[in-house]
Amino acid sequence: MTPRPTRLAIMLALALAWAVAASADVRIRDIARARGARHNQLVGYGLVVGLEGTGDSSQMAVTSQAVRNLVTRLGNRPDDTAGLKTKNTAAVIVTADLPPFINPGDTIDVTVSSLGDAASLQGGILLQTPLQGADGQVYAVAQGAVSIGGFAAGGAGAQVTRNHPTVGRIPNGALVEVAVLSNIVTDDTLALCLQQPDYATAVAVADAIINALPDSEAIALDASTIRARLPESFRDRPTEFLAAIGDLTVPVDAPARVVINERTGTIVVGGPVTISPVAVAHGGLTVEVRTVAAVSQPPPFSPGETVVAPESTVTVTEEGGVLVPLRAATVDDLVRALNALRATPRDLTVILQAIKQAGALHAALEII
């Protein structure tokens, strides 16, 4: 089996292979969008029916009331709903993302999440649910079979769960009813917004537009916004102008950033990460706790009872620390030095935090 430090070195080397590579040219359409062409979030409250006893319990008053309102609206009398049970029904929150330039009659995906104490949404059907925007207006209506991509099963003393059975999706489950108008051109001028703000990239986008279309005007207003004026040849054709500049390629500057996911041990190093001369001491501390069940019996013919008493022992082992100097390290040097420390991902998180706190790590450190 490959030792853990070796796997760490391989994982870091793969990430650093991208970091040390030259900045690749990418299309403007892949790194920027036109201001005004934005997504909108939709949300709604609905009911999922057809569950096999995995719905909300009778303690969920909101579900019971919603079921009564539903059957009453469908033509039943209120007194006919007194004996309704909700174990086959679940109250849910339905969310969706409304893309720009979408038209009435188009469909979008929706996510269905349990609101009560339902055990699973497997096999359920979402009833017609209006989806509202932040302004309170209904923009889409969702309905359909819920797909959870997992399951939950169990019996007496055993339970097996795969993925999240209380959250599901309905592909193309919402029908768009109202279109959202997107205005991207004002006074023959449009603004491009970078997905990852960067001053160098913004200037490169403005220069690329001017070089490709000399009769146009483009300027980088800040690290994320480029203002471009439509040339005379595209004055009445803003869509064609966006298509033309969208295919232009520009070099993208990669920021120096180290991202660590301590839960999974994933480490990603991007951009020209360097460290100033610094020394790192790395030592290991192992704490082992053992619990043994000891049986205590009373003397013969005594009124005492036999009991089981747990006995715990604690053992602490501390390894000697190693002081390793890191001198003007590049990204590649950082990998070799941390591999020499035989650091695990959890140890590496602490080491990088300490280096950053000392002011020697010249990169943004993000721990997720």
Domain containing residue 227: CATH number: 3.30.1360
Give the structural domain span for 52: 40-176
Among 197, 216, 251, the domain boundary falls at 251
Q: Are residues 238 and 307 in the same domain?
A: no
Please give the structure tokens belonging to residue 331: 């990204």
Tallying the residues shown for the chain, one arrives at: 368
* Same domain assignment for residues 123 and 55: yes
Same-domain check for residues 84 and 9: no
Quick check: 61 pLDDT over 70?
Answer: yes
Q: Is the domain of 166 the same as that of 109?
A: yes
Q: Is 279 exposed, middle or buried (0-12, 13-18, 19+ CB in 10 A)?
A: exposed
Note the pLDDT of residue 5: 46
| One domain for residues 45 and 140 | yes
Look up residue 329 and give its DSSP letter. B
- Exposure of 365 by Cβ count < 10 A (0-12 exposed, 13-18 middle, 19+ buried)? middle
Domain count for the chain, please give it.
3
Categorize the per-residue pLDDT at 341 as very low, low, confident or very high, splitting at 50, 70 and 90: low
Global pTM reads 0.66
Distance, in Å, from the CA atom of 151 to the CA atom of 123, rounded to the nearest integer, reads: 10
φ, ψ of residue 162 in degrees (nearest 5)? -120, 130
Q: Look over the chain and give the mean of its residue pLDDT values, rounded to a whole number.
A: 79
Of 176, 200, 216, at which residue does a domain stop? Answer: 176
Q: Does 143 lie in the same domain as 48?
A: yes
Lowest-pLDDT choice from 70-84, 247-261, 313-327: 313-327
Q: Are residues 82 and 142 in the same domain?
A: yes
Checking if the pLDDT of 191 tops 60, the result is yes
Distance of CA 173 to the CA centre of its chain: 22
Q: Give the residue-averaged pLDDT of 348-358.
A: 81
Alpha carbon distance 134, 92 (integer Å)? 19
HSE-up of 277 (CA within 13 Å, CB side)? 1
**Cross-strand pairs, 174:** 108, 142
